Structure 1
Amino acid sequence: MRRISARHSILTRPGRTALTREVLWFVMIGVASTVVQALLYWALRHEASPVLADFASLAVVTVLNTEANRRLTFRGSTVRVLQAHLAAGGLFLLAYLVTSGAVLLLRHYRPTVSPAAETLVLVPSFALVTVVRFAVLRMVVFSRRHR
């Protein structure tokens, strides 16, 4: 079996298309972001309302996620740091509406639900927003014309 050096890993192997590389990085960053967002929400939820816990955890994760994607997924883009983060602000609003809506809907039907159950509802809603986020970042923010 041939060993692949760190320089030619699965993410940078010659012949790998830009889209494939971007999707692989985005999935890894997205999974990590989802885990961090869920853990932050769960920790904050013990002291704050669902809406505030979601806002704070999502704000932190959005900044980290955007920077990781700028550096790894869409590396080589000429989009400036501030420009990338401002564009991600619109995506933050979408994510906040979807995730908070999911938690508030759950609490409407189950008012005594635990923070752990709320967190479990957040994970698929955040994953859904992540798919939209990839499409918007790739097609609009980090489009080929900026590279």
Structure 2
Amino acid sequence: MARLRIPGAARLPWSREVGFFIAIGIVSTVGQALLYWLLRNWWQPAVANLVSLLVLTVLNTEANRRLTFGHVAAPAVRAHLGAGGLFLLGYLVTSGAVLLFKHLDPGAPRVAETVVLAGTSVVVTVVRFLVLRLAVFRGPGRGDGEPGPREAASSTGPERSVPAG
């Protein structure tokens, strides 16, 4: 499968990654909020959040694996297992926020409940990006300005020779 190549991405990996992560995160947060709002017609907040978060986490992780962190050789299994732990954290934090909100204001409309869910998801997303970037999608050269394995393999720069010692 062809990878999306962005000029200058090797020089500015954080800005490229943050940009893709934000775009995917916005789509995912809106998708989760809409699915949650729809599911609340039949299910309690915790169940609606579980299902909406599970569906969108799988889609979000795969989109980030391919687009945001596609230049790092990380197998899908590793990406989805790492995201599984983050899923649990996200579920606990977002469900806790919604349940606390419902406890404090039992008569609040579902729209307000959904806004609380989306706002809390933004906070969880920041943590998610950092963990994915620094732990799940890390590779040789990450964080020190060096290209990841795929970038190094596709580099067209001059070859360097190391003198024999």
If the length of structure 2 is used for normalisation, what is the TM-score? Answer: 0.79
Matching residue within 68, 71, 75 for 2:63: 68
Residue in 2 that maps onto 1:137:
132
If the length of structure 1 is used for normalisation, what is the TM-score? Answer: 0.88
Cα distance, 1:85 vs structure 2: 0.3
Letter matched to residue 130 of structure 1: T
Cα distance, 1:111 vs structure 2: 1.2
Cα distance, 1:114 vs structure 2: 1.9
Question: SS of the residue aligned with 2:129?
Answer: helix
Q: Which moved more, 1:75-84 or 1:64-73?
A: 75-84
Letter matched to residue 13 of structure 1: P
Letter matched to residue 44 of structure 2: S
Matching residue within 2, 8, 13 for 1:14: 8
Between the two proteins, the alignment pairs up a number of residues equal to 138
Moved over 4 A (4+): none
1:101-137 deviation digits (Å, cap 9, x = unpaired) = 1100011111122221110101110000000000000
Letter matched to residue 56 of structure 2: V
Cα distance, 1:28 vs structure 2: 0.4
Alignment of 1:26-45 (within 5 A): 26-45=21-40
Cα distance, 1:71 vs structure 2: 0.1
1:67-117 deviation digits (Å, cap 9, x = unpaired) = 000000000222111111011000001100110011000111111222211
Alignment of 1:99-114 (within 5 A): 99-114=94-109
Larger of the two Rg values belongs to structure: 2
RMSD over aligned CA atoms reads 1.6
Q: Where does the alignment leave 5 or more consecutive residues of structure 2 unmatched?
A: 141-147, 150-165
Contact between 1:46 and 1:115, CA under 8 Å: does it hold in 2? Answer: no
More helix by share: 1
Q: Which moved more, 1:98-107 or 1:137-146?
A: 137-146
Matched residues, percent identical? Answer: 54
**C-alpha distance in structure 2 between counterparts of 1:135 and 1:29, whole Å:** 15
**C-alpha distance in structure 1 between counterparts of 2:74 and 2:87, whole Å:** 18
Matching residue within 113, 118, 133 for 1:118: 113
Contact between 2:73 and 2:139, CA under 8 Å: does it hold in 1? Answer: no
Residue in 2 that maps onto 1:54:
49
